[in-house]
A = this chain, B = another copy of it.
Amino acid sequence: MDTKLSYSLRELAQLAGVSKSTASRVISGNGYASPDVRERVLKAAEELRYKPNAVARAMVAKRTYNIGVIVFRDKLPIVSHTLYGKIVDEILMAAENLGYSIFLKTDREMSLRSMDYMLEQRVDGLILISRLRKNVIDYVKKFNIPYIMVNGSTEDPDVVHLVSNDEAGGERAAEHLYDQGHRGFFIVAGPVEHRSHSLRLSGFLNKLGRLDDRKRTIAEEDRQSGQGSDGIVDETSTKAEDASRISIVTVAESPDSGFDSGVRLMEERYEEFRSGGYTALFATNDMLALGAMKVLLENGVHVPEDVSVMGYDNTDLGGMYHPALTTVSVDAAGLGRDAVAILDRMIGGQENVPRLIEYESEVIARRSTRGEGNGTCSGIGNT
Protein backbone atom coordinates (compact mmCIF):
# COMPACT_ATOMS: atom_id res chain seq x y z
CA MET A 1 0.00 0.00 0.00
CA ASP A 2 2.74 2.34 0.89
CA THR A 3 4.48 1.57 -2.33
CA LYS A 4 1.66 3.11 -4.30
CA LEU A 5 2.77 6.38 -5.73
CA SER A 6 -0.56 8.07 -5.47
CA TYR A 7 -4.25 7.46 -5.36
CA SER A 8 -6.88 8.40 -7.86
CA LEU A 9 -10.11 10.14 -7.24
CA ARG A 10 -11.89 6.86 -7.82
CA GLU A 11 -9.98 5.19 -5.03
CA LEU A 12 -10.59 8.13 -2.78
CA ALA A 13 -14.31 7.98 -3.52
CA GLN A 14 -14.37 4.28 -2.84
CA LEU A 15 -12.79 4.71 0.56
CA ALA A 16 -15.16 7.53 1.45
CA GLY A 17 -18.10 5.51 0.18
CA VAL A 18 -19.25 8.04 -2.37
CA SER A 19 -19.12 8.33 -6.13
CA LYS A 20 -16.19 9.98 -7.83
CA SER A 21 -18.41 12.82 -8.95
CA THR A 22 -19.13 13.64 -5.36
CA ALA A 23 -15.53 13.29 -4.34
CA SER A 24 -14.58 15.58 -7.19
CA ARG A 25 -17.02 18.17 -5.95
CA VAL A 26 -15.55 18.15 -2.50
CA ILE A 27 -11.95 18.25 -3.63
CA SER A 28 -12.36 20.90 -6.28
CA GLY A 29 -14.90 22.88 -4.28
CA ASN A 30 -17.32 23.14 -7.18
CA GLY A 31 -20.78 21.94 -6.47
CA TYR A 32 -22.93 20.69 -3.61
CA ALA A 33 -21.83 18.36 -0.88
CA SER A 34 -23.49 17.79 2.44
CA PRO A 35 -21.39 18.42 5.54
CA ASP A 36 -21.47 14.74 6.34
CA VAL A 37 -20.19 13.65 2.96
CA ARG A 38 -17.71 16.47 2.77
CA GLU A 39 -16.16 15.41 6.03
CA ARG A 40 -15.94 11.78 5.03
CA VAL A 41 -14.23 12.64 1.77
CA LEU A 42 -11.75 14.99 3.40
CA LYS A 43 -10.92 12.40 6.01
CA ALA A 44 -10.28 9.81 3.33
CA ALA A 45 -8.16 12.30 1.40
CA GLU A 46 -6.09 12.93 4.48
CA GLU A 47 -5.62 9.23 4.99
CA LEU A 48 -4.52 8.51 1.44
CA ARG A 49 -2.51 11.72 1.18
CA TYR A 50 -4.62 12.30 -1.86
CA LYS A 51 -3.42 14.92 -4.27
CA PRO A 52 -5.37 15.73 -7.40
CA ASN A 53 -3.46 14.84 -10.51
CA ALA A 54 -2.62 18.08 -12.22
CA VAL A 55 -2.00 16.39 -15.53
CA ALA A 56 -5.46 14.87 -15.75
CA ARG A 57 -6.96 18.11 -14.58
CA ALA A 58 -5.03 20.01 -17.21
CA MET A 59 -6.23 17.69 -19.91
CA VAL A 60 -9.88 18.26 -19.36
CA ALA A 61 -9.51 21.91 -18.48
CA LYS A 62 -7.22 22.52 -21.46
CA ARG A 63 -5.32 24.74 -19.15
CA THR A 64 -2.04 23.90 -17.47
CA TYR A 65 -1.36 26.98 -15.40
CA ASN A 66 2.17 26.73 -16.61
CA ILE A 67 4.05 29.48 -18.34
CA GLY A 68 7.11 28.86 -20.42
CA VAL A 69 10.01 31.25 -20.11
CA ILE A 70 12.72 31.05 -22.71
CA VAL A 71 15.88 33.06 -22.29
CA PHE A 72 17.76 33.38 -25.52
CA ARG A 73 21.47 33.78 -25.44
CA ASP A 74 24.40 33.91 -27.72
CA LYS A 75 26.99 31.65 -26.33
CA LEU A 76 26.99 30.76 -22.72
CA PRO A 77 23.84 29.57 -21.04
CA ILE A 78 23.13 32.16 -18.50
CA VAL A 79 20.42 32.35 -15.96
CA SER A 80 23.07 33.82 -13.77
CA HIS A 81 23.19 36.65 -16.23
CA THR A 82 22.97 39.53 -13.86
CA LEU A 83 20.10 41.29 -15.56
CA TYR A 84 18.09 38.38 -16.90
CA GLY A 85 18.49 36.58 -13.63
CA LYS A 86 16.75 39.49 -11.97
CA ILE A 87 13.96 39.49 -14.50
CA VAL A 88 13.48 35.76 -14.14
CA ASP A 89 13.34 36.20 -10.39
CA GLU A 90 10.57 38.72 -10.75
CA ILE A 91 8.69 36.52 -13.17
CA LEU A 92 8.96 33.66 -10.74
CA MET A 93 7.41 35.71 -7.96
CA ALA A 94 4.70 37.23 -10.07
CA ALA A 95 3.80 33.83 -11.48
CA GLU A 96 3.56 32.36 -8.03
CA ASN A 97 1.12 35.05 -7.00
CA LEU A 98 -1.10 34.43 -9.98
CA GLY A 99 -1.02 30.68 -9.55
CA TYR A 100 1.26 29.86 -12.43
CA SER A 101 4.32 27.68 -12.46
CA ILE A 102 7.29 28.43 -14.64
CA PHE A 103 9.04 26.26 -17.16
CA LEU A 104 12.45 27.69 -17.70
CA LYS A 105 14.61 27.11 -20.73
CA THR A 106 17.66 28.78 -22.08
CA ASP A 107 18.30 28.41 -25.74
CA ARG A 108 20.39 29.59 -28.61
CA GLU A 109 18.20 31.61 -30.81
CA MET A 110 18.36 29.46 -33.88
CA SER A 111 17.15 26.30 -32.26
CA LEU A 112 13.44 25.81 -32.29
CA ARG A 113 13.61 22.71 -30.20
CA SER A 114 12.72 24.10 -26.82
CA MET A 115 10.04 26.10 -28.52
CA ASP A 116 8.58 22.90 -29.86
CA TYR A 117 8.64 21.44 -26.43
CA MET A 118 6.60 24.26 -25.04
CA LEU A 119 4.25 24.18 -27.96
CA GLU A 120 3.10 20.67 -27.12
CA GLN A 121 0.36 22.10 -24.97
CA ARG A 122 2.63 22.07 -22.02
CA VAL A 123 2.13 25.71 -21.25
CA ASP A 124 -0.65 28.26 -21.46
CA GLY A 125 1.64 30.98 -22.68
CA LEU A 126 5.19 31.97 -23.41
CA ILE A 127 7.54 34.68 -22.24
CA LEU A 128 10.48 35.20 -24.53
CA ILE A 129 13.41 37.07 -23.13
CA SER A 130 16.08 38.88 -25.06
CA ARG A 131 17.14 38.77 -28.65
CA LEU A 132 15.43 36.44 -30.96
CA ARG A 133 15.18 36.81 -34.65
CA LYS A 134 12.39 36.75 -37.09
CA ASN A 135 12.37 33.06 -37.79
CA VAL A 136 11.63 32.26 -34.18
CA ILE A 137 8.85 34.79 -34.00
CA ASP A 138 7.35 33.57 -37.24
CA TYR A 139 7.44 30.07 -35.92
CA VAL A 140 5.68 30.90 -32.69
CA LYS A 141 3.12 32.94 -34.56
CA LYS A 142 1.98 29.89 -36.49
CA PHE A 143 0.74 28.27 -33.34
CA ASN A 144 -2.04 30.08 -31.63
CA ILE A 145 -0.39 30.41 -28.31
CA PRO A 146 -0.22 33.64 -26.33
CA TYR A 147 3.28 34.97 -26.03
CA ILE A 148 5.02 38.09 -24.99
CA MET A 149 8.52 39.44 -25.48
CA VAL A 150 10.63 40.99 -22.79
CA ASN A 151 13.57 43.14 -23.66
CA GLY A 152 13.51 41.74 -27.14
CA SER A 153 15.09 43.16 -30.22
CA THR A 154 12.31 42.95 -32.73
CA GLU A 155 10.26 45.83 -33.98
CA ASP A 156 7.42 43.60 -35.16
CA PRO A 157 4.24 45.51 -34.35
CA ASP A 158 2.19 42.32 -33.91
CA VAL A 159 4.28 41.15 -31.04
CA VAL A 160 3.43 42.30 -27.55
CA HIS A 161 6.61 43.49 -26.03
CA LEU A 162 7.93 45.03 -22.89
CA VAL A 163 11.10 47.01 -23.13
CA SER A 164 12.91 49.61 -21.17
CA ASN A 165 13.12 53.01 -22.75
CA ASP A 166 16.72 52.66 -23.74
CA GLU A 167 16.86 55.76 -25.85
CA ALA A 168 15.75 57.99 -23.00
CA GLY A 169 18.09 56.15 -20.69
CA GLY A 170 20.99 56.84 -23.01
CA GLU A 171 20.04 60.48 -23.03
CA ARG A 172 19.95 60.64 -19.27
CA ALA A 173 23.36 59.05 -19.09
CA ALA A 174 24.74 61.65 -21.46
CA GLU A 175 23.15 64.43 -19.52
CA HIS A 176 24.54 63.11 -16.26
CA LEU A 177 28.10 62.99 -17.52
CA TYR A 178 27.83 66.27 -19.38
CA ASP A 179 26.48 68.01 -16.33
CA GLN A 180 29.39 66.77 -14.34
CA GLY A 181 31.58 68.70 -16.72
CA HIS A 182 32.85 65.97 -18.98
CA ARG A 183 33.66 66.93 -22.56
CA GLY A 184 35.76 64.02 -23.76
CA PHE A 185 33.72 60.81 -24.13
CA PHE A 186 34.81 57.30 -24.84
CA ILE A 187 31.88 55.03 -25.51
CA VAL A 188 31.97 51.27 -25.41
CA ALA A 189 29.05 50.09 -27.47
CA GLY A 190 27.75 46.54 -27.36
CA PRO A 191 26.46 44.75 -30.46
CA VAL A 192 24.46 47.25 -32.49
CA GLU A 193 22.12 44.51 -33.72
CA HIS A 194 20.70 44.56 -30.24
CA ARG A 195 17.88 46.94 -29.85
CA SER A 196 19.01 47.92 -26.38
CA HIS A 197 22.60 48.61 -27.22
CA SER A 198 21.86 50.55 -30.34
CA LEU A 199 19.18 52.71 -28.71
CA ARG A 200 21.29 53.43 -25.68
CA LEU A 201 24.09 54.50 -27.95
CA SER A 202 21.98 56.67 -30.20
CA GLY A 203 20.21 58.24 -27.24
CA PHE A 204 23.55 59.07 -25.69
CA LEU A 205 25.04 60.52 -28.86
CA ASN A 206 21.98 62.53 -29.82
CA LYS A 207 21.68 64.06 -26.42
CA LEU A 208 25.34 64.93 -26.44
CA GLY A 209 24.86 66.68 -29.77
CA ARG A 210 21.92 68.67 -28.49
CA LEU A 211 23.69 69.67 -25.32
CA ASP A 212 26.60 70.84 -27.36
CA ASP A 213 24.38 72.86 -29.67
CA ARG A 214 22.71 74.50 -26.76
CA LYS A 215 26.07 75.40 -25.37
CA ARG A 216 27.09 76.94 -28.65
CA THR A 217 23.89 78.94 -28.85
CA ILE A 218 24.40 80.29 -25.39
CA ALA A 219 27.96 81.14 -26.13
CA GLU A 220 26.92 83.02 -29.24
CA GLU A 221 24.20 84.89 -27.42
CA ASP A 222 26.77 85.76 -24.86
CA ARG A 223 29.01 87.22 -27.50
CA GLN A 224 26.18 89.09 -29.25
CA SER A 225 24.95 90.71 -26.09
CA GLY A 226 28.39 92.06 -25.42
CA GLN A 227 30.57 91.87 -22.35
CA GLY A 228 29.00 92.58 -18.95
CA SER A 229 25.58 91.75 -20.32
CA ASP A 230 22.70 90.68 -18.11
CA GLY A 231 21.25 88.44 -20.83
CA ILE A 232 19.85 85.09 -19.86
CA VAL A 233 22.76 82.77 -19.45
CA ASP A 234 22.67 79.15 -18.44
CA GLU A 235 24.12 79.10 -14.98
CA THR A 236 26.49 76.27 -15.69
CA SER A 237 27.93 78.11 -18.60
CA THR A 238 29.61 80.54 -16.29
CA LYS A 239 32.17 77.95 -15.31
CA ALA A 240 35.00 77.82 -17.76
CA GLU A 241 35.03 74.08 -18.06
CA ASP A 242 31.32 73.81 -18.67
CA ALA A 243 31.39 76.55 -21.21
CA SER A 244 33.82 74.64 -23.36
CA ARG A 245 32.43 72.59 -26.17
CA ILE A 246 32.69 68.83 -26.41
CA SER A 247 36.23 68.01 -27.35
CA ILE A 248 36.07 64.43 -28.46
CA VAL A 249 33.63 61.57 -28.73
CA THR A 250 34.80 58.11 -29.71
CA VAL A 251 32.63 55.08 -30.13
CA ALA A 252 34.34 51.74 -29.71
CA GLU A 253 32.20 48.88 -30.88
CA SER A 254 32.33 45.59 -29.10
CA PRO A 255 31.10 42.52 -30.95
CA ASP A 256 29.99 40.99 -27.71
CA SER A 257 28.43 42.37 -24.58
CA GLY A 258 30.05 40.51 -21.71
CA PHE A 259 32.59 41.42 -19.11
CA ASP A 260 35.38 39.76 -21.06
CA SER A 261 34.57 41.81 -24.11
CA GLY A 262 34.88 44.96 -22.08
CA VAL A 263 38.26 43.83 -20.85
CA ARG A 264 39.46 42.87 -24.30
CA LEU A 265 38.31 46.05 -25.90
CA MET A 266 39.97 48.28 -23.35
CA GLU A 267 43.18 46.30 -23.43
CA GLU A 268 43.35 46.76 -27.17
CA ARG A 269 42.59 50.43 -27.13
CA TYR A 270 44.18 51.43 -23.88
CA GLU A 271 46.92 53.56 -25.42
CA GLU A 272 44.45 55.39 -27.60
CA PHE A 273 42.23 55.93 -24.61
CA ARG A 274 45.04 57.13 -22.39
CA SER A 275 46.29 59.72 -24.80
CA GLY A 276 42.97 60.87 -26.19
CA GLY A 277 41.95 63.29 -23.48
CA TYR A 278 38.89 61.35 -22.42
CA THR A 279 37.49 62.01 -18.97
CA ALA A 280 34.36 59.90 -19.22
CA LEU A 281 33.68 56.36 -20.29
CA PHE A 282 30.17 55.22 -21.00
CA ALA A 283 29.33 51.61 -21.84
CA THR A 284 26.00 50.36 -23.09
CA ASN A 285 25.80 47.89 -20.25
CA ASP A 286 27.31 47.30 -16.84
CA MET A 287 29.33 44.30 -17.84
CA LEU A 288 31.16 46.12 -20.58
CA ALA A 289 31.67 49.07 -18.25
CA LEU A 290 33.09 46.92 -15.48
CA GLY A 291 35.35 45.01 -17.83
CA ALA A 292 36.74 48.23 -19.25
CA MET A 293 36.99 49.80 -15.82
CA LYS A 294 38.91 46.86 -14.46
CA VAL A 295 41.56 47.34 -17.13
CA LEU A 296 41.78 51.02 -16.28
CA LEU A 297 42.14 50.28 -12.57
CA GLU A 298 44.82 47.71 -13.25
CA ASN A 299 46.73 50.29 -15.23
CA GLY A 300 46.66 52.62 -12.28
CA VAL A 301 44.00 54.92 -13.64
CA HIS A 302 41.94 56.38 -10.81
CA VAL A 303 38.20 56.16 -11.08
CA PRO A 304 36.56 58.61 -10.83
CA GLU A 305 39.41 61.07 -10.23
CA ASP A 306 41.02 60.56 -13.64
CA VAL A 307 38.11 59.06 -15.52
CA SER A 308 34.44 58.68 -14.76
CA VAL A 309 32.87 55.38 -15.74
CA MET A 310 29.21 54.76 -16.31
CA GLY A 311 27.31 51.62 -17.23
CA TYR A 312 23.73 50.62 -17.89
CA ASP A 313 21.38 48.02 -16.39
CA ASN A 314 21.87 48.61 -12.69
CA THR A 315 22.99 45.09 -12.08
CA ASP A 316 23.71 44.21 -8.48
CA LEU A 317 27.26 43.65 -9.40
CA GLY A 318 27.78 47.30 -10.27
CA GLY A 319 26.76 48.40 -6.82
CA MET A 320 29.14 45.98 -5.21
CA TYR A 321 32.15 47.03 -7.19
CA HIS A 322 34.84 49.26 -5.88
CA PRO A 323 34.31 51.94 -6.91
CA ALA A 324 30.56 51.41 -7.08
CA LEU A 325 29.41 51.85 -10.65
CA THR A 326 27.20 54.70 -11.72
CA THR A 327 24.60 53.26 -14.04
CA VAL A 328 21.14 53.58 -15.50
CA SER A 329 18.45 51.44 -13.96
CA VAL A 330 16.28 49.02 -15.83
CA ASP A 331 12.99 48.26 -14.19
CA ALA A 332 13.47 44.52 -13.99
CA ALA A 333 10.77 44.22 -11.38
CA GLY A 334 8.25 46.02 -13.51
CA LEU A 335 9.25 44.09 -16.60
CA GLY A 336 8.87 40.74 -14.89
CA ARG A 337 5.70 41.56 -13.04
CA ASP A 338 3.90 43.01 -16.02
CA ALA A 339 5.06 40.25 -18.33
CA VAL A 340 3.20 37.72 -16.24
CA ALA A 341 0.20 39.94 -15.65
CA ILE A 342 -0.28 40.79 -19.31
CA LEU A 343 0.31 37.25 -20.43
CA ASP A 344 -2.28 36.15 -17.92
CA ARG A 345 -4.79 38.48 -19.53
CA MET A 346 -3.90 37.20 -22.97
CA ILE A 347 -4.34 33.63 -21.80
CA GLY A 348 -7.70 34.66 -20.42
CA GLY A 349 -8.66 35.69 -23.93
CA GLN A 350 -8.58 39.43 -23.49
CA GLU A 351 -7.78 41.31 -26.63
CA ASN A 352 -7.21 44.78 -25.31
CA VAL A 353 -3.69 44.30 -24.10
CA PRO A 354 -1.06 46.93 -24.77
CA ARG A 355 1.16 46.18 -27.74
CA LEU A 356 4.20 47.84 -26.30
CA ILE A 357 5.13 49.07 -22.88
CA GLU A 358 8.21 51.09 -22.26
CA TYR A 359 9.71 51.38 -18.83
CA GLU A 360 11.49 54.51 -17.79
CA SER A 361 15.04 54.39 -16.62
CA GLU A 362 16.84 56.60 -14.20
CA VAL A 363 20.42 57.37 -13.47
CA ILE A 364 21.80 55.68 -10.38
CA ALA A 365 24.67 57.91 -9.35
CA ARG A 366 27.42 56.15 -7.50
CA ARG A 367 31.12 56.48 -6.94
CA SER A 368 32.51 55.68 -10.36
CA THR A 369 31.57 59.07 -11.68
CA ARG A 370 32.59 62.44 -10.39
CA GLY A 371 30.06 63.92 -8.01
CA GLU A 372 28.19 63.01 -4.87
CA GLY A 373 27.16 59.47 -5.73
CA ASN A 374 26.65 57.14 -2.84
CA GLY A 375 28.18 53.71 -2.72
CA THR A 376 25.27 51.61 -1.64
CA CYS A 377 24.02 48.60 -3.42
CA SER A 378 21.09 46.29 -3.33
CA GLY A 379 21.27 42.96 -1.62
CA ILE A 380 22.42 39.91 -3.46
CA GLY A 381 24.29 36.78 -2.87
CA ASN A 382 22.92 34.81 0.07
CA THR A 383 24.15 31.27 0.31
Question: A74 to B382, Cβ gap below 8 A?
Answer: yes
Q: Complex formed: what's the CA distance from A76 to B333 in Å?
A: 13
Closest to A321 in B: B321
Picked from B122, B197, B382, the residue with its CB within 8 Å of the CB of A55 is B122
Which residues of B have CB within 8 Å of A93?
A: 77, 106
Picked from B104, B130, B316, the residue with its CB within 8 Å of the CB of A92 is B104
Residue A3 is within 8 A (CB to CB) of chain B in the complex: yes
Stretch at the interface among A212-220, A229-237, A255-263, A354-362: A255-263
Q: Complex formed: what's the CA distance from A30 to B382 in Å?
A: 48
Q: What's the minimum C-beta distance from A210 to chain B, rounded to whole angstroms?
A: 26
| Interface residues, chain A, with chain B CB atoms under 8 Å away | 2-6, 49, 51-56, 58-59, 64, 66, 73-83, 85-86, 88-89, 92-93, 96, 101-106, 114, 116-117, 119-122, 130, 142-145, 190, 194, 196-197, 256-260, 285-287, 290-291, 293-294, 297-298, 313, 315-317, 320-322, 375, 377, 379-383
Q: Complex formed: what's the CA distance from A153 to B279 in Å?
A: 50
Q: What's the minimum C-beta distance from A93 to chain B, rounded to whole angstroms?
A: 6
Question: A383 to B92, Cβ gap below 8 A?
Answer: no
- Give 10 CB contacts A-B under 8 Å: A51-B121, A75-B382, A79-B79, A79-B85, A83-B383, A102-B104, A260-B377, A285-B381, A287-B381, A317-B320
Picked from B54, B101, B194, B287, the residue with its CB within 8 Å of the CB of A121 is B54
